[in-house]
């Protein structure tokens, strides 16, 4: 086992970089399949495979190294024009990429049962047959016999691999990587792309433009089984009268036919040059540290609210004074600094949705091929940023929407031609910011969704009566598609059609404080839009009081607040409703739903909070409105897992605790209470 595996920090870097290389491989292969063979893209893909092979070998992961080497050989044939790109080649390379990803996952989790690489390697070898008869098999352009004269400002070094080195190609790869980190490589003999052919005892000569001092450069090449010698330095001294003679190493064991310059002038790279070569500096930060930092900012927000409240209490008790005014001004300044700090931390936590979107082109490609459909998959808004805490949670909803779009929305090519459409359908995945939300949309130009079919599906499943379905507005009827077992598919496939998926989309998104909207024109396609808050950590919420308990309702879920007389409520089929703005609004008492004692308001007028959940409006009767506040949501522990209607808690400025309502499960609670009432009525 390689010693590098015992270094957790190095392993973590390897996992991250390997994931990046696999992503670049897949994206490049998809681009080649879509746009045709491109030397630039082929070089990028080859470089990704070559880098992954070298780093896998360095870490001692032999199976990974063998498979990436087989991929590299096929890619090299493509680069040389000895094999053209076709579906067999792309399929073999993509399958190998999948195998690599599965192997990485097994290695990360410590699973001893790793995927067998033999089938993938065999598939690569079978498609690696030359179809270019003009180029003799096995002949590659020969490398130059020597390097050109060293240019001014450059340095030439020689690197000799030890005679007893067991992994010469890995050592060569490590040397080139270290050189690229400290310098710009001008030329090398042999070429960097031929490191897989390096043998034990071989000497590699490299010309570089250093970005740092020679001492630091040579120190970075201090690997075992490698001997490094400075051959020539053509840099000029910083000043004409300053030079440093005879600093070259003398190596008696080195080949005698390789000339060594005995005296040279050396100059440290200037600050300007260093900045020019190194570019933007970045730092990797553990996610846990960002979460801790966000929690501390949350505590600052709570403290700021407490100070504001204390200032108001002081003013009420002692009146205006210069001290109180100074405290108030200090509180305002503290609030501004806290807001700025909060914004910067939020930006650090934000990541482009490209990291999620990049996994879908491959899925769409495989699904469309499996279904026999032609799909042009378009992605826009990849640079739109979203809080990293939401990234993983949006994968499943988008997956379900894309599956439905391809399986149900998009027609077969012959059907599209018969309708006068392009045989190739267009499916678009897009993201954009809108105020404090991010909108993610999946649209297609396929069949669209018929509202009447949705009504019929819900009635046939016994979810709603025919009379009730006829009373629904078009928007309300369309929202029925999010109920379990409701589907407009005429047949069940292994992709979709069982009525599961859309309910998962709704539940997952509403759990995140978001909403889902469906727009469709039968025959012209559909657009399903997910609306999400930019972050779940700090949100604007309306505080309401029920009995002695305070609840927080995210402002994103609130339509409006109002008052209603108790005599205005009526009952239809066991459900309390209120005529409101020309519609019938379902109404529920929050205290009764959550079984809070002494919470029922007996006054002639009730406070009403109208919220939108599951695509429908619902009126919640509460005892008091405490105003809107910026709250920091804290997750509840496992002890409170049974509180389905509560998504978290927050600490208010006066030290009291408010419970954050989960609007999605609250809607389910209302429906469950109605179903229980209906069942008891039928039994009675």
Active site residues: 50, 72, 404
The full DSSP string for 496-559 is S-SS-SHHHHHHHHHHTT-EEEEEEETTTEEEEEEEEES-SSEEEEEEEEETTEEEEEEGGGEE
d(CA 232, CA 43): 31
Asked if 663 and 553 count as a contact pair (C-beta separation under 8 A), the reply is yes
For tokens 């053209």, the residue is 84
How many residues are present in the chain? Answer: 684
d(CA 217, CA 247): 14
Tell me which residue of 648, 628, 632 sits closest to 542, measured CA to CA.
Answer: 628
CA atoms within 13 A on the CB side of 46: 20
For residue 631, what are the β-bridge partners?
A: 539
Asked if 595 and 547 count as a contact pair (C-beta separation under 8 A), the reply is no
The full DSSP string for 453-480 is HHHHHHHHTTSS-HHHHHHS-HHHHHGG
Q: Which two tokens stand for residue 191?
A: 């070429």
d(CA 170, CA 54): 6
Asked if 131 and 84 count as a contact pair (C-beta separation under 8 A), the reply is yes
- Strands 425-434, 437-444: pairing is antiparallel
3-class secondary-structure state, position 661 = strand
Asked if 230 and 248 count as a contact pair (C-beta separation under 8 A), the reply is yes
d(CA 411, CA 372): 10
How many CB atoms within 10 Å of residue 61? Answer: 23
Asked if 581 and 645 count as a contact pair (C-beta separation under 8 A), the reply is no
């Amino acid at each position: 086992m390689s010693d590098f595996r015992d270094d957790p920090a190095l392993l973590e870097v390897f996992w991250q970089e390997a994931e990046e290389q696999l992503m670049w491989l897949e994206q490049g292969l998809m681009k080649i399949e879509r746009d045709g063979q491109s030397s630039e893209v082929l070089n990028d893909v080859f470089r990704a495979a070559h880098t992954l092979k070298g780093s896998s070998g360095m870490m001692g992961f032999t199976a990974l190294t063998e498979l990436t080497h087989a991929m590299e050989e096929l890619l090299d044939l493509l680069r040389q024009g000895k094999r053209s790109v076709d579906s067999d080649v792309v399929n073999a390379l993509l399958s190998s990429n999948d195998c690599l990803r599965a192997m990485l996952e097994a290695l990360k989790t410590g699973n001893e049962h790793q995927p067998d690489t033999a089938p993938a390697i065999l598939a690569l070898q079978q498609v690696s047959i030359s179809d270019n008869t003009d180029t003799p098999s096995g002949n590659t352009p020969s490398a130059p016999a020597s390097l050109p004269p060293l240019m001014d400002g450059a340095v030439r070094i020689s690197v000799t691999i030890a005679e007893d080195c067991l992994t010469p190609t890995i050592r060569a790869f490590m040397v080139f990587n270290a050189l690229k980190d400290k310098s710009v490589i001008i030329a090398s003999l042999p070429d960097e792309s031929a490191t897989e052919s390096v043998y034990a005892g071989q000497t590699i000569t490299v010309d570089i433009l250093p970005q740092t001092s020679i001492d630091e450069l040579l120190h970075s090449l201090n690997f075992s089984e490698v001997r490094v010698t400075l051959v020539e330095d053509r840099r000029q001294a910083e000043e004409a009268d300053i030079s440093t003679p005879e600093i070259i190493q003398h190596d008696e064991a080195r080949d005698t036919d390789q000339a060594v310059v005995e005296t040279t002038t050396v100059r440290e790279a200037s600050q300007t040059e260093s900045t020019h070569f190194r570019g933007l500096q970045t730092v990797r930060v553990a996610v846990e540290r960002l979460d801790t930092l966000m929690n501390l900012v949350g505590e600052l927000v709570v403290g700021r609210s407490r100070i504001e409240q204390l200032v108001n209490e002081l003013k009420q008790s002692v009146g205006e004074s210069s001290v109180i005014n100074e405290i108030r001004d200090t509180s305002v300044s503290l609030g501004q600094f806290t807001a700025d700090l909060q914004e910067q931390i939020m930006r650090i936590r934000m990541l482009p949705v490209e990291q999620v979107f990049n996994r879908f082109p491959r899925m769409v490609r495989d699904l469309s091929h499996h279904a026999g459909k032609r799909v042009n998959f378009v992605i826009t808004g990849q640079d739109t940023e979203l809080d990293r805490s939401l990234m993983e949670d949006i994968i499943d909803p988008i997956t379900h929407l894309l599956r439905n779009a391809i399986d149900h929305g998009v027609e077969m090519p012959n059907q599209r031609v018969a309708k006068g459409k392009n045989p190739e359908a267009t499916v678009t995945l897009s993201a954009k910011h809108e105020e404090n939300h991010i909108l993610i949309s999946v649209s297609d130009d396929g069949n669209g969704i018929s509202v009447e079919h949705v009504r019929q599906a819900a009635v046939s499943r016994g979810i709603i009566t025919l009379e009730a379905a006829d009373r629904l507005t078009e928007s309300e009827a369309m929202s029925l598609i999010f109920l379990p077992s409701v589907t407009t598919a005429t047949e069940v496939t292994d992709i979709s059609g069982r009525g599961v998926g859309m309910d998962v989309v709704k539940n997952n998104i509403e759990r995140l404080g978001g909403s889902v909207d469906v727009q469709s024109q039968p025959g012209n396609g559909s657009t399903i839009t997910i609306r999400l808050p930019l972050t779940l950590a700090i949100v604007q919420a309306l505080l309401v009081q029920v009995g002695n308990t305070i609840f927080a309702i995210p402002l994103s879920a609130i339509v409006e607040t109002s008052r209603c007389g108790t005599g205005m409520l009526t009952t239809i089929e066991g459900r309390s409703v209120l005529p409101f703005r020309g519609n019938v609004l379902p109404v529920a008492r929050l205290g009764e739903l959550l079984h809070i004692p002494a919470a029922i308001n007996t006054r002639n007028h009730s406070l009403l909070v109208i919220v939108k959940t599951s695509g429908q409006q619902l009126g919640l009767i509460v005892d008091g409105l405490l105003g809107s506040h910026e709250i920091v949501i804290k997750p509840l522990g496992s002890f409170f897992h049974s509180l389905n209607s509560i998504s978290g808690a927050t600490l208010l400025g006066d030290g009291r605790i408010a419970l954050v309502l989960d609007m999605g499960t609250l809607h389910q609670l209302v429906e469950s209470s109605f179903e229980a009432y209906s069942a008891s009525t039928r039994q009675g």
